[in-house]
Amino acid sequence: MTVVITREQYVASARNRVVAVALAMLNDELDFLEGSIQLVSMRHDVAVEENDSDFMTFVAIASETDGLPIGSSREHWSKKALIRHQPQVEAATVWAKQFGIGALHSLVRRFRT
């Protein structure tokens, strides 16, 4: 049996996922840089403007950190390179949290049901 969902149901589900990711980031249950990448990947599913300021915050974070070993891509980096880049990852995380915390709170306010 095939289950069919409406566009509205799909958007609501995507918005729930955004809230879950944002809350996990706020509660330090999800790496901030990884969460930023996840939010960027979901922005087209939540029926917002292309240049939505909250999501553009995470586009900027992802763009600024795309050369760093983050998330599952870390498994493809050598141990030596991971150690060498760790200070950059830590500094980027501090910056990203300061830059993105307000947008996280905004996403939760906007999309929490």
Q: What are phi and psi of 44, to 5 degrees?
A: -80, -5
Q: What are phi and psi of 25, to 5 degrees?
A: -65, -45
Of the chain, the percentage scoring pLDDT greater than 90 comes to 92
- In this prediction, residue 113 carries a pLDDT of 84
| Residue 99 pLDDT grade (very low, low, confident, very high; cuts 50, 70, 90) | very high
Structure tokens at 38: 């996840």
- pTM of whole model > 0.75? yes
| Residue 1 pLDDT grade (very low, low, confident, very high; cuts 50, 70, 90) | confident
For 9-34, the pLDDT digits (tens) are: 999 999 999 999 999 999 999 999 99
Expressed in angstroms, the distance from the first to the final Cα of the chain is: 29
Question: Residue 71: is its pLDDT beyond 90?
Answer: no
> What is the mean pLDDT of the segment spanning 50-76?
94
Question: Residue 49: is its pLDDT beyond 90?
Answer: yes
From CA 57, how far away is CA 104, in angstroms rounded? 9
What mean pLDDT is reported for the chain? Answer: 96
Q: Where are the domains of the chain?
A: 7-111
